[in-house]
């Protein structure tokens, strides 16, 4: 009896490329629409709080919800194949402590930089020109000249030499100010954060544009503020806990310093908090990055990142090391 010959069901030896679908998880349907048309990409929608959709375990690229609270670690446990977490914010303090080993974290650098820098400069100009007093007079239908100051020949210390900080520095220099950039490590045009105490006495304006880390938490404390000259302006467009609220409140209450705050600690600022009642502070409710164009810029970045990841190319905005 002749042996039975079974057909060879293995793929031809010349076939080497097998298409593997890339699963991306996004928080909203609008995000899925923004990724429409990407080849070999499966997009799932999950806001990380509702029940997980079928297939979420295949997720390799996660777009985190913008301005969200820190998710429970078991949310990420549902994605055993996860390789990338992409944020739409420049700050990573909420997510970084829970990023699993081996997973790449990328931030939204460039998405909010322009609008946040604009708000910082707007806050500086509003403070120098005493615009809140003018607004109060307008409400009272009262015409009374209000003296003001300008940026010409002022020294502006910008804490943070990233996208936001550099834009602030460039903007104030247009008006004749002298900007000094400060970052964790020194380089050609940037002073080291370790040297900041030596710089404070010579700067009338300080702009905080640093990430929140163990090193920067409460950086702007009572000794820091005491080293500033009388009449100095403190601008915080970064994260509230970088500034010691009680120390700042003491200086504002005395009238020695003034401030423009887009972020506070605590945040949201409670209704009865004393920061609301001091006269020499302008407070905005964390709106620096929330202008109309941010979502368009953000999803353009996400689409480019997904395309890079699918092709095996290096990602932009990767957060690593001491940050």
Asked whether residue 218 is assigned to any structural domain, the reply reads yes
**CATH code of 178's domain:** 3.40.50.720
As a whole number, mean pLDDT of residues 290-303 equals 92
pLDDT at 299 over 80: yes
Question: Is residue 130 annotated as a catalytic residue, yes or no?
Answer: no
As a whole number, mean pLDDT of residues 10-23 equals 61
Assess whether 94 and 132 both reside in one domain: no
Assess whether 202 and 53 both reside in one domain: no
pLDDT at 243 over 80: yes
- Give the model's pLDDT for residue 100: 93
How do residues 86-110 score in pLDDT, each as one tens digit? 999 988 988 999 999 999 999 999 8
Q: Is the peptide bond before 268 cis (omega within 30 degrees of 0)?
A: yes
Q: Which alpha helices (H) appear in 175-260, and where do they start and end? A: 222-226, 245-254
Inter-residue contact 59 to 43 (CB < 8 Å): no
How do residues 300-318 score in pLDDT, each as one tens digit? 999 999 999 999 999 999 9
Assess whether 148 and 237 both reside in one domain: yes
- Give the model's pLDDT for residue 323: 61
Q: Which residues contact 237 (CB under 8 A, 6 or more apart)?
A: 116, 117, 119, 120, 123, 164, 207, 208, 209, 262, 263, 288
- Give the model's pLDDT for residue 7: 44
Assess whether 250 and 124 both reside in one domain: yes
Question: Is residue 273 annotated as a catalytic residue, yes or no?
Answer: no
Q: Which domain holds residue 42?
A: 22-111+293-311
Inter-residue contact 132 to 111 (CB < 8 Å): no
Assess whether 121 and 101 both reside in one domain: no
As a whole number, mean pLDDT of residues 32-38 equals 93
- Out of 112, 286, 297, 300, the active site residue is 286
pLDDT confidence band for 19 (50 / 70 / 90) = low
Among candidate residues 69, 60, 25, 30, the one with its CA nearest the CA of residue 45: 25
- Out of 178, 239, 297, 308, the active site residue is 239
Q: What domain count does the chain have? A: 2
Place of tokens 């620096």: 288
Asked whether residue 16 is assigned to any structural domain, the reply reads no
For residues 68 and 48, give the distance between their C-alpha atoms in angstroms, rounded to a whole number: 10
CA angle 160, 248, 235 (to 5 degrees): 35
Q: What percent of the chain has pLDDT over 90?
A: 84
Asked whether residue 8 is assigned to any structural domain, the reply reads no
Query: Burial, 18: exposed, middle or buried (Cβ in 10 Å; 0-12, 13-18, 19+)?
Result: exposed
Assess whether 148 and 172 both reside in one domain: yes
Assess whether 33 and 147 both reside in one domain: no
Assess whether 103 and 121 both reside in one domain: no
Residue 39 per-residue DSSP state: T
Assess whether 233 and 158 both reside in one domain: yes
Asked whether residue 135 is assigned to any structural domain, the reply reads yes
Q: Is 106 left (phi over 0), alpha (psi -120 to 50) or beta?
A: beta
Inter-residue contact 280 to 93 (CB < 8 Å): no
Kind and range of the H or E element at 34?
helix 29-34
pLDDT at 20 over 90: no
pLDDT confidence band for 84 (50 / 70 / 90) = very high
pLDDT confidence band for 48 (50 / 70 / 90) = very high
Assess whether 177 and 240 both reside in one domain: yes
pLDDT at 9 over 70: no
Asked whether residue 322 is assigned to any structural domain, the reply reads no
How do residues 176-232 score in pLDDT, each as one tens digit? 999 999 999 999 999 999 999 999 999 999 999 999 999 999 999 999 999 999 999
80 three-state secondary structure: coil
Assess whether 95 and 170 both reside in one domain: no
CA angle 118, 124, 129 (to 5 degrees): 125
Asked whether residue 9 is assigned to any structural domain, the reply reads no
Asked whether residue 317 is assigned to any structural domain, the reply reads no
């Amino acid at each position: 009896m002749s042996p039975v010959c079974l057909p060879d069901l293995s793929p031809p030896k010349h076939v080497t490329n097998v298409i593997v679908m890339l699963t991306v998880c996004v928080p909203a349907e609008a995000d899925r629409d923004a990724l429409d048309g990407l080849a070999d990409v499966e997009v799932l929608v999950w806001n990380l709080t509702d029940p997980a959709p079928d297939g979420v375990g295949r997720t390799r690229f996660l777009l985190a919800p913008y301005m969200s609270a820190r998710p429970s670690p078991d949310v990420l446990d549902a994605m055993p194949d996860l390789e990338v977490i992409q944020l739409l914010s420049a700050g990573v303090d909420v997510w970084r402590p829970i990023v699993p080993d081996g997973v790449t974290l990328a931030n939204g650098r460039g998405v909010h930089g322009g609008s946040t820098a604009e708000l910082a400069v707007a806050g500086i100009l509003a403070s120098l020109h005493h615009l809140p007093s003018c607004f109060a007079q307008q409400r009272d239908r009262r015409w009374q000249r209000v003296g003001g100051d300008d940026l010409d020949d002022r020294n502006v210390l910008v804490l943070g030499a990233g996208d936001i900080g550099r834009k602030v520095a460039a903007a104030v220099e247009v008006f004749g100010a002298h900007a000094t950039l400060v970052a964790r490590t020194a380089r050609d045009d940037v002073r080291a954060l370790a040297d900041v105490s030596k710089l404070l006495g010579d700067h009338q304006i300080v702009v905080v544009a640093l990430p929140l880390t163990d090193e920067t938490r409460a950086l702007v404390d009572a000794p820091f503020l005491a080293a500033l000259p009388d009449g100095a302006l403190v601008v915080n467009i970064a994260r509230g806990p970088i500034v010691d609220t009680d120390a700042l409140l003491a200086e504002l209450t005395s009238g020695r310093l003034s401030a423009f705050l887009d972020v506070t600690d605590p945040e949201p600022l409670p209704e009865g908090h004393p920061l609301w009642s001091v006269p020499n502070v302008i407070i905005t409710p964390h709106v620096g990055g929330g202008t109309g164009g941010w979502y368009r810029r953000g999803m353009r970045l996400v689409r480019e990142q997904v395309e890079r990841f699918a092709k095996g190319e290096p990602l932009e905005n990767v957060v690593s090391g001491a940050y």
